[in-house]
Chains A and B, each alone.
Chain A
Amino acid sequence: MKKYILIITGLIAVMVSCKKTYESVPVEAVTSDYIWDTKDSNGIYASQYLFDIYANLPDGTNRISKDFLDAGSDDAVTSQTIAAPVTLLATGGITIFNNPDDVWASSYESIRKATYFLSNFSKVPLKNVYERRSWFGEARMLRAFFYWELVKRYGGIPLVGDTVKSLSDDVQIGRSSFETCVNYIVNECDRAVDSLRDDPADDVSYGRFTKDAARALKAKVLLYAASNLYNGGNTGDTLNGYATYDANRWKRAADAAKILIDEGKYQLDSDFRNVFIAQRSVEVIFGKANTLGQFIESQNGPINFSTAPAAGNTSPTQELVDAYGMANGLPITDASAGYKPQDPYTGRDPRLSYTVLYNGAQWLGTAMQTFNGGVNRPGGTTVQTQTSYYMRKFMGNFENTAKYEDHYHDWIYFRFAEVLLNYAEALNEYSGPTEDVFASVEKIRKRAGLDPFALSRSISKDSLRSIIRNERHKEMAFEEQRYWDIRRWKIAGEVYNKQPLHGMSITRTADGFLYNIVPVLTTAFDEKKMYFYPIPNREMVSNDKMRQNPGW
């Protein structure tokens, strides 16, 4: 009997006292000591942390549930069902509860990460001091970039500062004025410039912030700040702009852009299409690097190519197509331009065919059929173009291939063409039509293949402004420019409310096609409030110091 008792007691003793054979916390979930490793002279995990912030940069490709942001402007409509979230942006459907382009929380996440990096990275003994300085600069620029993402949407926003908040910290922070925010971002750019890498970045650093990337952001911020919406043209609230107009803001913007031009590190790519698909274009100052792929094509390519299946998500509008003039540089409304409404695509600005696929355009070795009932617009329930147009921009040169191939498709934030346009716009506003303005615009028109590209030197400031805006429209379609441009120019009310957006309804007849412009989407814009997004409701009710934008 005793034997059994001994066995039982023994068993219990062994089991209870059995030693831990595992670590008490998971190894794969490391602590911050690993990230800011005081021994690692290569700063491996710190670099991973920095890359994570880079990875958070917004990629505009089909960003808003399968749609480009520009499908919320007058340049395109979604091909998807009518309730696609992006449509809310064009029809005035955003609310304090629902905004498909709400970046409030995600931007502050990235801002936290950058601040965390800036306040801890000094612990890491990174051996290469130039690298080390650059990393600080990059984190600073990333933070400035995400602040800018907020400011252009919401106006002045809370600046969190240089401390990282924890669960028990007070995060009830009020909004700073628009001016303070712009100055903060510009200052951060200035602070970062010196420590950043020289341009162009070396082959292994392509995709990181450089000196000129910081300058380009600064130029853009200043251009926006000088624009009608903010430069004394707002509702009078300093949260959303300057109280009074100051022409010198245009000068600051022009000067900031001019530095980049004078630096001469970047130039226009000779082939417009190459900018978006090249492994490295001479025009690209900074973009979000992407791996090889054909995502653009599979999402936006025309439907019903059996060798190249695609979803056809984006339908460019007639408004965009009409913005492109003729190859002779004249707008289609000009009687002498030679535009024929029943042969609408012949003799147009070459950028039209680089940007939009239209009926009869060559694609994948065949002529596009976007007439009603055509292969690429068959009717039925399939998602297909709503306007007879498909987006072409950013795609590889697949006019004559059998199928899509992988190519580079970085999402470009700053390219030299924009710097030129920024410069031209700011300078024209500040000093009127000067030779510098003409020269900048003509560079764009020349590269585009307009013949003649030269502009008459006798045109007025206002006419030149229209030309610059039109060039910007054509040159930068789908690059998340137009959507913001119509806001900062304060013409959104006019653009959205004047008339519905249009598409083409094409009927095949025995001897050709019949082109008929039809409305596709009625847009709306409440000028009293919609120039700024509403602060999300959750933020309003959680932060006592938060103030809502006017009208919301």
Chain B
Amino acid sequence: MFLMLTVAAPLYAQQLKISGTVLDEYGHGLPGVNISTRNQTSSVASSINGQFEILAGLKDVLLFSYPNYQTQSVSLADSATIIIIRLVKASVQKNERTDVLYGSLPTDKITGAIATVYTGQLTTTPGPLYAYALGGRLPGLYSQQSRGWTTINNSSLVQQDVDGLYYPQSGTMGLKGPSDNTEINLRLRGQAPVTIIDGVQRDIYTIDPENIESVSVLKDGLSTILLGQKSSRGVILVTTKKPVQGTPHVSLTAQTGIQEPLGLPDPVNAYQYAYLYNEAQSNEGNPLSYTYEDFAAWKNHTDPYGHPDVNWFNTILKKNSLISRYSLNVSGGGNAARYAVGIGYLDDKGLFNGSNPQYNVNATLKRYTINSNIDVDVNKDFNVRLQLFARIQDGNQPGGGTDAIISQMYTTPNNAYPVFNPDGSFGGTQAYSKNLYAQLTRSGYVEDYTRDILSSLELNYKLDRFLKGLWAKVNTNLSVYASNTTNRSAGVPSFKLSVGSAGDTLYSRYGAASDQLNSFTLTYSAQFWYLQSVLGYTRQFGKHGINARLFYDRNESIFNYDLPETNQNIASTFSYDYDGKYLADLAINYSGNDRYPPGKQFGFFYAAGLGWNIARENFIKNNSGLSWINNLKLRATYAQNGNANTGYFTWRESFRINIVTPTYPIGINRASQSVAQQMLLANPNVTWEKAHKFNVGIDAALFKNRLLFTADYYRDKYYDLLQTRGRQVSLIGIDYPAENLGINRFSGTELSLTYQDNYKKLHYYITANASLENSKVIFSDEIQQKYAWNKVTGQPVGMQFGYIADGLVETQKEATSSPHVAGYTLQPGDIKYKDLNGDGTIDQYDATAIGSSKPMFYYGLSAGISAWGFDISVLLQGVSNRTYMMNDYSFGSGSNQAYTYTVGRWTPETGTAATYPRLTPGINASNDLWSTYWLRNGNYLRLKNAEIGYSLPYHLLSRLKLSAVRFFANGYNLLTHAAFDRVDPEVYGQVYPVQRIINFGVNVKF
């Protein structure tokens, strides 16, 4: 049955009857697609199986348009009368409904601040976590990578591992429970967000992006109010793919990427190192460490064993490594039951260069995931949804430990020891008894396993028979998490070659040989139990829309040895709209946590929202001059939220007994006596942290929804923040507990702007977002600071304090007269500090705020074009007004490596041209201080991601019974422009480096 919407077209002589089928990406018929001729003379909609029939002129052009799909055009030049066309999803989507906490709502009726990205923008980023793809995509969400490889928890549980045994640190914004994201720090409007996966709170960041329908950030207080005591931090909401009715949609993706480390420093060779070290010694008047003969041997490489020169970066790291991902997603079903299942596999290989014939010594990560959603309509009123998510993650690392080897690599000088001695044994000395290459290749291995199962059953019941619009929902979730390690590491000795007095060769052994271990330990265990029941009432009375809910949920979690922790929310929400024009939301939540003192566990949280869809007002709707306004909404919310930063029963005075460390061994046999200790002073008044959150925003869709615009302003006041009081008199004899004292304010502006359109056959889009984030410490219970510049109050939250460096001391006269650190004799080449209080001594009174006090500005810009089967997209991401501290002074603890930047040190010859203070061996009491000399400008702009793809034309594929084949190549961290470019602006510590990934893959759909 064809629906002819417009038949007013005059009949031309050459009028053709065109028939055809519109297909989606899976080759299934796409119903409801609007097909029109270019001059709009006729237009039809496709039928349930995608078929259509239309009259058009001979040289006409047919336009195929469908919401959230790229509009396509077909010229009728080739006089074909049967057309089969496949539509492709648009890169930027604007959906009728938006995912919100525990459900979805019509986008037009939302008064909160929510931003969303969809699958298409997530899958272009190669990486082991979907969190890699979030940076720069969402306004208000700031991301910074902190390391390039996951952190493995190897330590076995001990009884003291009770989560939050001690008070949480002041301002802990806290993850609780296991998180699989140790690489990317995410901050939503300055707070660590709560992650909700399909309605369940869990910190899971390893879901295959192909499997994710959308990731949203809920930024305002109303959107998160149902979390009650956990609602103030904002939410990252992840929704996995839901079943779609129809014949099976199958999508198969295989991809492999090449990873290349970025920002590795360049060590100096052994000769230079020795020279610099001698200079450092002589600067301090110490005896020189190396002789002329030593220098000659290093310079000429005449004695590779006695005077080695090993670049450890080149020795134990490869230039690049591989990451492969495979995923299969199938969705389909009939009227009664639908399913969406996905399988994912990730194989990430580390950078280590070295092998052992018996076992894998590289760092590797293998991950297997299954996600399945089953959706059954038991009858027309009763719907059951079952979700199962399972994950197995197997990691491997060399026996020396990935992190330990990496940090040792940074601190081992080239001249420390040879890789091998002449007899084939590993080189080493007393100070370097652990040979790096031996740590990598001969020290066994450590495996870690993580198992995760998350299962949800959701029952939805329409109770229209009792009361029209009444419905009920029950959702239960059970999930478990366990991680273990099997430690099969071994100790490998190293040997120092020396020549005895008689000219004989002598090998002295350092480090003990030990047999390979085989120990299995539980490293983390968690289980979660969640119940949610909702009674809802959704009904339209003429122009009055009502949506009301009674809500109860209970979340019980057990971590390791902890007693279970229970959160409960008893809430009610009420939304009203008049004709979709005027929106009002009210919510109240009575929320409790059983870690608080009895009788003080529950509190009230509330929120309200207002919205005005201006575009629905008659003065716009009926004004043809304003028809370019498709949507214009003003909205505002206000809420009081909470953050349960509980600690572990810290309200209760308690003691620990039978402690074995410390111990007091008494008697002549030194019999160990366990001890008993009082824990922290109890704070019987401890309560949750709170926030007043205000958000006002505007959404606009203009020019046939081609231009989308959203702007938000927020002002969030966080108060009752836990911190220890400023005036802590030690005479009390015990540590003070954290008390609800601090007040911080975060405020800011966020903008996002999207434009997408077609130009002839070219589909293009550009979407940009920018966030300006201001923060201020309104109250911090500081001790009375002697000088105004010492004060934290009034500064941005997390402001870096330190000394103001005033260049390097140039002359002895200057050194004698300049203010200095007590007990330190200033010398030419040392950093000179500003003596703010003028007392001639550099001490804490001279420390002041040295970080950027301007609001942080972060932004992202993504753009793409597609035509003729090709598609290209890029993502630029950047941040401004950011600073970070990176003190990489000299030889650190006395044995650190020197790098090419060290060569720029001050000497009497370099004078003012020096880029680095004079060298001294070991930690320097003056130059090592945190000062502006080591403060780095953290601004950067990077080509975070780019993708190019090519989809084979449909007529080639149809013979192969495939509906889509797309080849693609994409990349991560492709180009970087950083204000301080000696290191990577995100990952700059002595940790596993950040990587550039160039990834190739193919996606097949049928």
A positions within 8 Å CB-CB of B? 1, 4-5, 8, 11-12, 15-16, 22-26, 28-32, 34-35, 45, 47-49, 51-52, 54-56, 80-83, 87-88, 91-98, 104-105, 108-113, 115-116, 158, 160, 164-167, 169, 171-173, 203-208, 279-280, 289-292, 303-304, 306-307, 309, 372, 379-383, 386, 408, 505, 522, 524, 536-539, 541-543
Contacts and interface: CB of A to CB of B under 8 A. Distances in A.
Interface string B210-245: 000000000000000000000000000000000000
B961 interface: no
A387 to B, nearest CB: 11
B249 to A, nearest CB: 31
A372 B554 CA distance: 72
Contacts of B502: none
Contacts of B671: 204
B731 A207 contact: no
Most chain A C-beta atoms within 10 Å of own C-beta, residue among B431, B554, B664, B843: B664
B657 A15 contact: no
Contacts, number: 266
B649 A29 contact: yes
Contacts of B612: none
Given A5-B461, A48-B657, A29 B679 contact: yes
A381 B289 contact: yes
Contact of B841 (A35, A95, A166, A280): A95
Interface string B642-659: 000000110011111111
Nearest to B684: A167
Contact of B728 (A25, A164, A538): A538
Contact of B895 (A47, A279, A382, A386): A382
B784 A541 contact: yes
B9 interface: no
Given A1-B465, A95-B843, A48 B654 contact: no
A312 B891 CA distance: 19
Nearest to A304: B430
A542 B729 contact: yes
B12 interface: no
A26 B649 contact: yes
Given A30-B657, A45-B676, A81-B894, A12 B287 contact: no
Contacts of A54: 664, 666
B823 A203 contact: no
A53 B951 CA distance: 75
A92 B656 contact: no
B510 interface: yes
A56 B381 CA distance: 69
A29 B823 contact: no
Nearest to A33: B655
B431 A203 contact: no
Nearest to B384: A4
A28 B729 contact: no
A307 B507 CA distance: 12
A40 to B, nearest CB: 12
Interface in B142-199: 159, 162
Nearest to A87: B823
Contacts of A408: 670
Contacts of B510: 306, 309
B676 A48 contact: yes
Given A52-B676, A55-B663, A381-B431, A290 B670 contact: yes
A289 B672 CA distance: 10
B433 interface: yes
Interface in B937-966: none
Interface string B691-729: 000000000000000000000000000000000001111
Interface string B405-423: 0000000010000000000
Interface string B819-851: 001111100000000000000010110000000
Contact of B531 (A15, A166, A167, A206): A15
Contacts of A303: 430-431
A55 B430 CA distance: 33
A128 to B, nearest CB: 16
A106 to B, nearest CB: 9
A524 B822 CA distance: 11
B413 A381 contact: yes
A160 B729 CA distance: 12
Contacts of B923: 81, 83
A171 B736 CA distance: 12
Contacts of B736: 167
Nearest to A543: B729
B505 interface: no
Interface string B275-286: 001000000101
Closest 3 CB pairs of A and B: A93-B823, A81-B922, A112-B733
Contacts of A34: 655, 657
Instruction: Say whether chain B's binding surface is mostly helix, strand, loop, or mixed.
Output: loop
Interface in B80-116: none
Contacts of A173: 729, 731
Interface of B: 159, 162, 277, 284, 286-291, 378-379, 381-382, 413, 429-431, 433, 459, 461, 465, 472, 474, 476, 496, 508-510, 531, 533, 552, 554, 561, 563-564, 594, 598, 648-649, 652-659, 662-679, 681-683, 726-734, 736-737, 783-784, 821-825, 841, 843-844, 891, 893-895, 920-925, 928
A88 B824 CA distance: 9
Contact of A97 (B531, B594, B844, B893): B844
Nearest to A375: B498
Contact of A80 (B656, B659, B894): B894
A142 B922 CA distance: 39
Contacts of A289: 664-666, 670
Contacts of B683: 167
Given A4-B378, A207-B665, A207-B666, 15 more contacts: A12-B474, A12-B552, A31-B655, A45-B655, A49-B655, A52-B675, A82-B924, A94-B823, A95-B841, A96-B843, A98-B843, A111-B733, A167-B683, A380-B289, A539-B730
A29 B655 contact: yes
B381 A26 contact: no
Contacts of A110: 733
A35 B678 CA distance: 10
A206 B674 CA distance: 16
Contact of A48 (B652, B675, B893): B675
A267 to B, nearest CB: 18
Contacts of A95: 822, 841, 843
Contacts of B429: 382
A486 to B, nearest CB: 18
A211 B42 CA distance: 111
Contacts of A386: 286
Contacts of A94: 822-823
B823 A112 contact: no
Contacts of A279: 668
B925 A93 contact: yes
A90 B162 CA distance: 43
Contact of B552 (A16, A22, A304, A372): A16
B723 to A, nearest CB: 15
Contacts of A382: 429-431, 895
Contacts of B381: 1
Contacts of B681: 166-167
A28 B921 CA distance: 48
**Looking at A55, A95, A505, which has the most chain B CB atoms within 10 Å of its CB?**
A55
B656 A82 contact: no
A36 to B, nearest CB: 10
11 contacts: A22-B564, A29-B654, A52-B659, A83-B925, A95-B843, A112-B734, A167-B681, A167-B737, A173-B729, A381-B289, A383-B894
A23 B562 CA distance: 11
A207 B653 contact: no
A86 to B, nearest CB: 11
B783 A22 contact: no
B657 to A, nearest CB: 5
B225 to A, nearest CB: 21
